A and B are shown apart, each in its own frame.
Chain A
Amino acid sequence: MATAVDGAGAGASGGAGDGTEYERAFDAAVAADERIEPRDWMPDAYRATLVRQIAQHAHSEIIGMQPEANWITRAPSLRRKAILMAKVQDEAGHGLYLYSAAETLGTGRDELLDKLHSGRQKYSSIFNYPTLTWADVGAIGWLVDGAAITNQVPLCRCSYGPYARAMVRICKEESFHQRQGYELLLALSRGTPEQHAMAQDAVDRWWWPSLMMFGPPDDESQHSAQSMAWKIKRHSNDELRQRFVDICVPQAESLGLTLPDPDLRWNEERGHHDFGPIDWAEFRDVLKGNGPCNEERLTRRRRAHEEGAWVRESAAAHAAKHTTGETGAIPA
């Protein structure tokens, strides 16, 4: 960004300055839709909000590998197995981009993982739902990735440069996953009666949790106003949720599947679909840790980390022994 003062050199802490030169430069940059970069001065609260949001996003990619990895060993064709493996691999990659983006804000991946493992930082509530059938893999692709994209495409214009750039790369891959999920469901929907029923059941179970991915209603969203003012967020939760519903309705029709909402109908006046009430009690319960898989997801992540400790320690010890430019490659 061009106009903000380089705060790293000035040693400014980013404290609650009231109309300081730094703060004015920051505000002006945000107002002009310029990107804030790691060395620029930024308010402490802006930095903290971004760390929280990016870390949570990274954690969601990592925990989100589990419900899908659950089906890698049971995928019903080699083509589907390859697609699913590639997808889970992409998710690990997204986690890496996002941890890197968070690290530009002065935190470290180890610290963030600690916070995830100890429950001090969250991940998306959607990954606390179980994948019970193969069709769930398709429903996650179509609905969960679809909701994620609706949320994330505006983040490509987020005021913080490293996050925005990570989102550009991630959104490209996510939209690919979303199409694959749709195509998986389409194959099931047009398949045998059992396959069709499997697809419908998965959509029935994932529809409402997907709508919850946009977060609480606007009047209950504690971070929204400030995030919008800082141009981290560009649209409200309810706005994005509505956009998602409007996108999904015709897609469900072409899939030959129904959405489990008796109140869902086109509203000519609003130019949008009306939809039924979301069960916010369930949403809060899952967030609090009482969802179907909260315990299992976190335990598995912690176990992988703990059981891998000796591997990381050995790699570090090896690196410390061989610091003199040896590549480690075995000569041909």
Chain B
Amino acid sequence: MTTTSAQETVPTAAALALGDDALVLSHRLGEWAGHAPVLEEELALANIALDLLGQARVLLSLAGDEDELAFLREERAFRNLQLVEQPNGDFAHTIARQLYFSAYQYLLYTELAAGDGPLAPLAGKAVKEVAYHRDHAEQWTLRLGDGTATGHTRMQRAVDALWRYTGEMFQPVEGIDVDRPALEAAWLERITRTLHRATLTVPDGPRTGAWTAGAGRQGLHTEPFGRMLAEMQHLHRSHPGATW
């Protein structure tokens, strides 16, 4: 990746962290195409995936060439949260992942948009999309949690399973200057309210393990991620130097 003078004003670490989050989650949502439980969700999931991909392209372009960064970095060089790389699982797992991430992204982008940092213009635009993503995830959390017994069981299982990846969102990232404790408190409050309303129990396990605390941001990922990248990068890597 080439270094340009623009990077003096753009926090590369921040652009990569946020860009990778959006890129990887977008990819996971793209895997749903043709598999969604109802036609309206084919549209909704693809729509969210597309918003996130748009955000990723802007962010990665701030840090270098978007395609080089997406297709030619190894697993250890990706800076995304472990949360967003988690496999889709069933629909409840996908919704729990969306619930946790979109609530965090909404709060973070709202704060970034209000500031005068170099990420403010992007955050201002993206936060409108993220508000929709968060609403979508919350509505589905309610429908699944407070619907049938099966829905309730599956949704509870999903929020429990992904809980240990949520602490990483509030680890420091170079170039993202926000009040992290306040962000975390607001996130926890919102999630608690949503889960209660959905008749679900807020998981009581730790929100970070020894391994997950800030690990994704350091390029330490979970096993499914390498396989995801292998699929994502295969074609691009098979034709070095080609344009598409």
A-to-B contact residues, CB < 8 Å: 62, 65-66, 69, 72-82, 85-86, 88-89, 92-93, 95-96, 99, 109, 134, 184, 187-188, 191-192, 194-195, 300-301, 303-305, 307-319, 321-322, 328-330
Instruction: Specify the chain B residue showing the minimal Cβ separation from A134.
Output: B235
Judge if B174 is at the interface, Cβ distance under 8 Å. no
User: Which of A82, A134, A194, A308 is the one whose CB lies under 8 Å from B37?
Assistant: A308
For the A-B complex with A74-B231, A81-B30 known, give 11 more contacts whose Cβ atoms are closer than 8 Å: A66-B34, A74-B234, A74-B235, A88-B42, A187-B243, A195-B239, A300-B34, A304-B34, A304-B37, A315-B147, A321-B146
Those of B27-82 within 8 Å (CB) of chain A: 27, 30-31, 33-43, 46-47, 49-50, 53-54, 56-57, 60, 66-67, 70-71
When distances are taken between beta carbons in the complex, the residues of chain A under 8 Å from B243 are: 187, 191
Bin chain B's interface residue count.
35 or more
Are the C-beta atoms of A304 and B46 separated by less than 8 Å? no
Are the C-beta atoms of A308 and B34 separated by less than 8 Å? no
User: Which of A65, A81, A308, A316 is the one whose CB lies under 8 Å from B91?
Assistant: A308
Mask: chain B, 146-174; 1 = CB below 8 Å from A; 0 = not: 11101110100000000000000000000
When distances are taken between beta carbons in the complex, the residues of chain A under 8 Å from B37 are: 304-305, 307-309, 311-312
- Pick out which of these stretches binds chain A: B9-17, B190-198, B204-212: B190-198
Q: List 9 A-B contacts (CB under 8 A).
A: A69-B33, A191-B242, A308-B37, A308-B41, A311-B151, A313-B148, A318-B142, A328-B142, A329-B135
Are the C-beta atoms of A330 and B138 separated by less than 8 Å? yes
Are the C-beta atoms of B146 and A318 separated by less than 8 Å? yes
User: Which of B70, B138, B193 is the one whose CB lies under 8 Å from A78?
Assistant: B70
| A65-B34, A77-B244, A313-B148 as given contacts; A96 in contact with B39, CB under 8 Å | yes
When distances are taken between beta carbons in the complex, the residues of chain B under 8 Å from A86 are: 46, 50
B-to-A contact residues, CB < 8 Å: 23, 27, 30-31, 33-43, 46-47, 49-50, 53-54, 56-57, 60, 66-67, 70-71, 90-91, 135, 138-139, 142-144, 146-148, 150-152, 154, 190, 193-194, 197, 231-232, 234-236, 239, 241-244
When distances are taken between beta carbons in the complex, the residues of chain B under 8 Å from A312 are: 37-38
Are the C-beta atoms of A328 and B139 separated by less than 8 Å? yes
Are the C-beta atoms of A76 and B71 separated by less than 8 Å? yes
Are the C-beta atoms of B36 and A308 separated by less than 8 Å? yes
Instruction: Specify the chain A residue showing the minimal Cβ separation from B154.
Output: A310
Instruction: Specify the chain A residue showing the minimal Cβ separation from B146.
Output: A318
> For the complex, what is the distance from the CA of A62 to the CA of B71, rounded to whole Å?
30
Classify the interface of chain A: helix, strand, loop or mixed. Answer: helix
Are the C-beta atoms of A317 and B36 separated by less than 8 Å? no
Instruction: Specify the chain B residue showing the minimal Cβ separation from A73.
Output: B231
- Most chain A CB atoms below 10 A, which of B30, B34, B38, B154: B34
Instruction: Specify the chain A residue showing the minimal Cβ separation from B31.
Output: A73
Q: Closest approach, in angstroms, between the C-beta of A80 and any C-beta of chain B?
A: 6
User: Which of A65, A184, A310 is the one whose CB lies under 8 Å from B33?
Assistant: A65
Are the C-beta atoms of B143 and A318 separated by less than 8 Å? yes
When distances are taken between beta carbons in the complex, the residues of chain A under 8 Å from B47 are: 89
Q: Closest approach, in angstroms, between the C-beta of A294 and any C-beta of chain B?
A: 16
Are the C-beta atoms of A72 and B39 separated by less than 8 Å? no
Are the C-beta atoms of A330 and B53 separated by less than 8 Å? no
> For the complex, what is the distance from the CA of A314 to the CA of B49, rounded to whole Å?
24
> For the complex, what is the distance from the CA of A328 to the CA of B135, rounded to whole Å?
9
